[in-house]
Structure 1
Amino acid sequence: MKILMVDVDGVLVHGRPSDGLPLFTYLERDLGLRLDLLQEAFFKTCWRDIVTGREALEPKLTEVLGTIAPHLSARTLIDYWFENDSRLDHALLDDLAELRAKGTQLFLATNQEHLRAAYLMDELGLSARFDGIFYSAALGHQKPAVEFFQLATERVGIAATEIGFIDDVEANIEAARQFGWKAIQWTSGTKLRDAIAAFSV
Structure 2
Amino acid sequence: MARDRAQALLIDFDGVLRRWDPAPMIAVEVKYGLKPASLLETSMSWDIYRPAMAGEITDAEWMKLVADRLPIDNAAEAVAEWQTYRGEPDPDALAFIRSVRAAGRKVGLATNATDRLRADLEALALTDEVDVVISSWEIKVHKPAPEYFERACQLIGEQPKHVLFVDDDDRVVRGARSAGLSAYRWSGPQHVDYLRKALDLPA
Cα separation, 1, equivalents of 2:128 and 2:181: 24
Deviations 1:167-201 (A, max 9, x none): 1111111111111111111113533222232466x
Give the deviation of 1:120 after TM superposition.
3.0
User: Which residue matches 1:108?
Assistant: 109
1:9 aligned residue (5, 14, 26): 14
- The secondary structure found in structure 2 opposite 1:73 is helix
State the AA in 1 paired with 2:76: S
- Given that residues 67 and 79 in structure 2 are in contact (C-alpha distance below 8 angstroms), is that contact kept between their aligned partners in structure 1? no
Deviating more after overlay: 36-45 vs 142-151: 36-45
- The secondary structure found in structure 1 opposite 2:184 is strand
Deviations 1:45-79 (A, max 9, x none): 311111111011213423552563442436x6356
- Given that residues 27 and 34 in structure 1 are in contact (C-alpha distance below 8 angstroms), is that contact kept between their aligned partners in structure 2? no
Deviations 1:154-173 (A, max 9, x none): 22332111111111111111
Give the deviation of 1:24 after TM superposition.
3.4
Matched, 1:138 2:138: yes
User: Which residue matches 1:190?
Assistant: 190
The TM-score with structure 1 as length reference comes to: 0.82
Cα separation, 2, equivalents of 1:65 and 1:28: 12
Cα separation, 1, equivalents of 2:100 and 2:37: 41
State the AA in 1 paired with 2:91: H
Structure 2 unaligned spans of 5+: 1-5
Cα separation, 2, equivalents of 1:163 and 1:152: 10
The TM-score with structure 2 as length reference comes to: 0.81
- Given that residues 16 and 168 in structure 2 are in contact (C-alpha distance below 8 angstroms), is that contact kept between their aligned partners in structure 1? yes
Compared with structure 1, are the counterparts of its residues 181 and 66 closer, same or farther at alpha carbon in structure 2 (3 Å cutoff)? Answer: closer
Give the deviation of 1:107 after TM superposition.
0.9
Cα separation, 2, equivalents of 1:186 and 1:42: 24
Number of aligned positions between the proteins: 193
Cα separation, 2, equivalents of 1:163 and 1:96: 14
- The secondary structure found in structure 2 opposite 1:10 is coil
User: Which residue matches 1:59?
Assistant: 61
- Given that residues 182 and 199 in structure 1 are in contact (C-alpha distance below 8 angstroms), is that contact kept between their aligned partners in structure 2? no
- Given that residues 15 and 23 in structure 1 are in contact (C-alpha distance below 8 angstroms), is that contact kept between their aligned partners in structure 2? no
Compared with structure 1, are the counterparts of its residues 9 and 39 closer, same or farther at alpha carbon in structure 2 (3 Å cutoff)? Answer: closer
Structure 1 unaligned spans of 5+: none
Compared with structure 1, are the counterparts of its residues 131 and 39 closer, same or farther at alpha carbon in structure 2 (3 Å cutoff)? Answer: closer
Give the deviation of 1:23 after TM superposition.
6.3
- The secondary structure found in structure 1 opposite 2:89 is coil
- Given that residues 54 and 142 in structure 2 are in contact (C-alpha distance below 8 angstroms), is that contact kept between their aligned partners in structure 1? yes
Percent identity reads 22
Compared with structure 1, are the counterparts of its residues 82 and 144 closer, same or farther at alpha carbon in structure 2 (3 Å cutoff)? Answer: farther
